[in-house]
Structure 1
Amino acid sequence: MHEAVLGIEHPGAYSSATAGTDTTVELWCNDHCDLLHVGGSEAESVVAHVEDAVGVRERIAEGDERLLITDACLKEHGDDPIEATLAEHDCLLVPPLRYAEGRKWCRVLALDAGNLTAFYRDVSAEFPVVVDSKREVASVRADRPLLTLDSALPDLSPRQHEALLTAVEMGYYRIPRDATTAEVAGKLGVERRTFEEHLRRAENKVVAGLAQYL
């Protein structure tokens, strides 16, 4: 089997709501409604978009995190050409769907590499597509199918990911440190306090996400 994670600039209520923000939306479809996890500093703004698009039946809020059950399924509010293209090329969409940076991020699985290539070709002919990763799936665990390190780690916003990765690359976590927060912030072109806030949120998510496996 072959897998690819693609970021598709497909216009939609959830993807457009994340454009220009550090907020992400994860979606599990249940036909009659959707289960959503919304995270980021502008979560409430995204939730307002969701309410306008499909309505919100129930919610739990904690800090910058929101867990929502919608009134209706997003599928009921328009056809999705991407799903039709998936079926055409015998590809599977592995949940959850993820929306970030104005894109719909799809984890696509195909039994044949040619089918995956054909799906990418047809979708990229209609929409701008970013390839985040691709791999051959050689084995799975029965209790956690298709588990990867990416799926075990928490979902970071683009700014949090950039802050953490740049800090690592510049030696901020080396002992002794090769860079200060001010130097890393300068590399990113942001204020020190802004960088420290993104880094602190990223560290908190990573530590909390991995603690259950320790």
Structure 2
Amino acid sequence: MYEATFSIADSGSYTKPTKDADCRIELWCNDHSDLLYVSGTEIGPLLSQIRTDIGIEAEIHRDREAVVITESCLKQHEVAYIEQYLRMFNCLLLPPLRYENGEKQCRILALESKSLTDLYTELVSDDFSIDVRAKHKISMPVQSTPLLTLDDVLPELTERQREVLTLAVEYGYYDLPRETTTKAIAEEVEVSRRTVEDHLRRAERKLLTSLVSYLY
């Protein structure tokens, strides 16, 4: 199998608002509607554009990010979209589509390298502005997931646990060879060495317990 990443510049409803703005979209198409993960410091104007052009059925906001379900699929509003070309050359689109910096990034899978070349040639002949960011042979495509962020995975640490753990990392406690000791950290935060070690063990246990299931 072969995978290529095409970056396509256009002025679509999802692409144009991301140009010269700190915002980006990841899109999972469901034919009748789209699932969007929107992030960045300037997502307000982007969401307004989506609401006007496509419609928003539901949305969940958090600081600098949102999950959106649209009222209709973007393909219903565009004359030319890449999926119709994929069928011609027996290629597959690997979700999600990414919109950033005024461009749409598509990961495309094909059984033969020539299929990707022929697809590119056809798109260019139809006046698509394309930059090939990557093309390589693969054994397994990399999975992408929209809704899981570090905030969802990381456990809640106490203020003192965060402080002690941060100092331990900054001072090289976890380096090889070790650059500091729990005694030195204890002197910095003005508590006993045993208290520092207890905070570290509790913080480490919380982090490892939360993260270990995502290692597989």
Normalised by the shorter chain, which TM-score bucket? 0.5 to 0.7
User: How far 1:19 moved relative to its partner?
Assistant: 0.8
> In structure 1, what is the equivalent of residue 74 of structure 2?
74
User: How far 1:152 moved relative to its partner?
Assistant: 7.6
Q: Distance in 2 between matches of 1:27 and 1:133?
A: 20
User: How far 1:133 moved relative to its partner?
Assistant: 1.7
> In structure 2, what is the equivalent of residue 4 of structure 1?
4
Q: Determine if the alignment matches structure 1 residue 19 to structure 2 residue 19.
A: yes
String of CA shifts for 1:135-183, please: whole Å, max 9, x gaps: 2112x3xxxxx226xx48999xxxxxxxxxxxxxxxxx9x9xxxxxxxx
> In structure 2, what is the equivalent of residue 132 of structure 1?
133
The total of aligned residue pairs comes to 155
**Residues 152 and 68 of structure 1, relative CA distance in 2, 3 Å threshold:** closer
Give the partner amino acid of 2:83: E
Give the partner amino acid of 1:137: I
Paired residue secondary structure (1:39): strand
**Identical aligned pairs, as a percentage?**
37
Instruction: Give every structure 1 segment of 4 or more consecutive aligned residues whose post-TM-superposition deviation is greater than 6 Å.
Output: 152-155
Rg comparison, structure with higher value: 2
> In structure 2, what is the equivalent of residue 160 of structure 1?
none
TM (norm. structure 2) is 0.65
TM (norm. structure 1) is 0.65
Structure 1: gaps spanning 5 or more residues = 141-145, 156-172, 176-210
Question: What is the alpha-carbon root mean square deviation over aligned residues?
Answer: 2.6
Alignment of 1:28-43 (within 5 A): 28-43=28-43
Structure 2: gaps spanning 5 or more residues = 150-169, 173-210
